[in-house]
Chain A
Amino acid sequence: MVALRGKELKLNEEELEDCDVGDVDDEEFESESESEPEEVAVTEPTKNAVYNREALLEKLDDIAWPQNVEWIHKLTVDHAVEQEVDVNDDLARELAFYTQALDGTRQAFEKLQSMGIPFLRPPDYYAEMVKSDGHMLKVKGKLLVEKKKIEEAEERKKAREAKKLAKEVQAQKTKERAKRKKEDIESVKKWRKQRQQSGFARGKDEELDLSPDEEKSYEKSKKRRTGVAPGDRSGGFRRKGGNEKGTKKREFREAKFGHGGRKGMKKQNTAESTNHFKSFHKDKFSASKRQKK
């Protein structure tokens, strides 16, 4: 016991010495940083830093495995980095790491393959994994949620574009319609002029010529009215004019509270309600009568 304690004390002393050294160094650091402006300290190396190469190499020799250890014990692969990566560029850095891992794995797998030992996990080999099944379920759930989010965003984008396109098409249509109307009116005017000039002669022929035009205009007006409710007095323009948000709200409220239709039917008696005596309180009436008296 005593011996053990003695040893501990010795170790403590060693440690303390070491700590002293460390503390002194720290003080040096601080004094330097005080005298210097803030950022320069980060980039400028301290002058009196220890770097004992010989001792390091000696130590390396001490602890190193023998030179001719088979590769299978080490499983190490070296990868030459092509160019310096910027540390602050997360994507580039991670990509560099990924390529290093991929390259290293390829080399290692080639070596393993050439050795001819089994090294790949068979599909029916079940064993404990690093991450639990519960955790992997969570991961899966998160991935699904992310996928869904992306899909929804895409859908929204598509809808927006479709709306834009529809607007354009609509504008084109109205333009065309206006143009046609103008043309029609002009043609009628022309025809009138011609008739006036010709002194209302050969009326019948002209009318026959015109008849398909008239029919067309009739058709057009009918077309415009498709989808208009029979009770709608605005001729289908109300829906067009009102902003969508307002109508939506209105529709919702109507669905909730009721709008249109006959209200009176609810209050009228039916055969069932007349024969229903449960809600009829005879006493109530008589009592009230008595009170009145």
Chain B
Amino acid sequence: MGKKRKHAEASEAPKEEVAEERPKRTLLGWKDGVPEKQNSSPVFRNREKVLVTCSRRITYRFRHLMLNVVSLLPHCKKDSKVESKESKGATLNELIELRNCSSCLFFECRKQKDLYLWMVKCPGGPSVKFLVNAVHTMEELKLTGNHLKGSRPILTFSLNFDKEPRWKLIKEIIVQIFGTPKGHRKVKPFHDHVFIFSIVDGHIWFRNYQISVPHNETDKVDRGGLDKMTLVEVGPRFCLNPIKIFGSSFGGPTFYENPFYISPNQIRALEKKKKAGKYSKKVKAKTRRKMHELANPLEPDEFADLWKD
């Protein structure tokens, strides 16, 4: 412990010369606007803290997904469940403030069926609402990988994240939330897993792989080791369908709205309607047939009493 502190002091020492330039930070964030640009030259420190929580009445599968995410993010703080009411935004904002966090992942479960994920930058930042599909948790036995808890992930993005403003914004939010801060106290100094975020079909797909590379030293891969590198999937898996981007945290003006999005409620309603239509169609067909029969009656059969005698 003592050793560690010494280390920190040593790294702090050169900073003190420029200490006056550094902006003050309040509980709510930076005191004056966008300070990163000012202090970018001396040091950049990522002090991201993510609040992870979920709504009440969440199902076990989604809760496990949340717990998996918690285990992947050493810089997160897990909080107790929040009632998913209309005023949840206010309570959550307060909660984030209380826990001194700068962003939030909120897993909202509705009707015990649909999972929505809110990615929020807290003081005044934008918030993105996703519908979560294709959930596989880490507990599934076919995901055989494993990695250190708290090692920093490598984030890989598909190139189509840079094509449109909305994807750019989402990418920045993901980098800040899912990227583990360097030098965080819970972080282990090795890199043994990789996150991928890929946009396919307008959805963001997430995967987490363990990296296994042949090596003897800690700072060098064996010769040709990069070619022998293999990845084993660790999980979880999920697929995010962006619904809306809001201007501030948990609310505010809508900046983007997915035109292709149809809520699962509507899909279910349509299915129900189809099923309901089946019966009414049958009834209709029956009445139509009756009407038809009444309209054109059969001709009297001339051979009807031929064999009666």
Contacts and interface: CB of A to CB of B under 8 A. Distances in A.
A110 B226 CA distance: 9
Contacts of A128: 148-150
B29 to A, nearest CB: 11
Contact of B144 (A73, A76, A139): A139
Interface in A14-37: 14-19, 21-22, 25-26, 29-30, 33
Interface stretch (B14-22, B163-171, B282-290, B299-307): B163-171
A72 B189 CA distance: 12
Contacts of B110: none
A121 B207 contact: no
Contacts of A69: 40, 44
B179 A74 contact: yes
B157 A18 contact: no
How many residues of A sit at the interface, in one of the four size bands?
35 or more
A18 B44 contact: no
Contact of B165 (A57, A103, A127): A57
B231 A98 contact: yes
Contacts of A42: 260, 262
Given A42-B260, A56-B166, A101-B194, A77 B220 contact: no
A33 B173 CA distance: 33
Most buried by B among A22, A42, A110: A22
B90 A73 contact: no
B256 A56 contact: yes
Contact of B250 (A15, A51, A61, A127): A15
A75 B154 contact: yes
Interface in B153-202: 153-162, 165-166, 168-169, 172-173, 175-176, 179, 181-182, 188-192, 194, 196, 198, 200-201
A87 interface: yes
Most buried by B among A93, A130, A131: A130
B158 A79 contact: yes
B260 A105 contact: no
Nearest to B126: A59
A230 interface: no
Interface residues of B, number: 99
A46 B126 CA distance: 23
B32 interface: no
A130 to B, nearest CB: 5
B296 interface: no
B146 A100 contact: no
A103 B181 CA distance: 23
Contact of B159 (A49, A80, A112, A125): A80
B251 interface: yes
Interface in A58-78: 59-70, 72-78
Contact of B218 (A29, A101, A118): A118
Contacts of A79: 156-159
A81 B159 contact: yes
Given A50-B257, A72-B182, A79-B159, A15 B154 contact: no
Interface in B254-285: 254-260, 262-263, 266, 270, 273-274
Most buried by B among A21, A81, A119: A119
A21 B257 CA distance: 12
Contacts of A78: 156-159, 161-162
Contacts of A113: 219-221
A138 interface: yes
A112 B259 CA distance: 41
B106 interface: no
Contact of A119 (B148, B162, B190, B273): B190
Contacts of A87: 200-201, 203
A42 B263 CA distance: 10
19 contacts: A11-B251, A15-B86, A15-B251, A22-B244, A41-B270, A51-B257, A59-B126, A65-B36, A65-B44, A75-B152, A104-B196, A105-B194, A106-B229, A109-B226, A113-B219, A118-B189, A120-B190, A120-B218, A127-B148
Given A30-B266, A52-B256, A130-B72, 16 more contacts: A18-B254, A42-B262, A51-B166, A56-B256, A63-B176, A66-B44, A67-B40, A75-B191, A80-B158, A81-B159, A102-B231, A105-B231, A106-B229, A121-B148, A127-B188, A130-B148
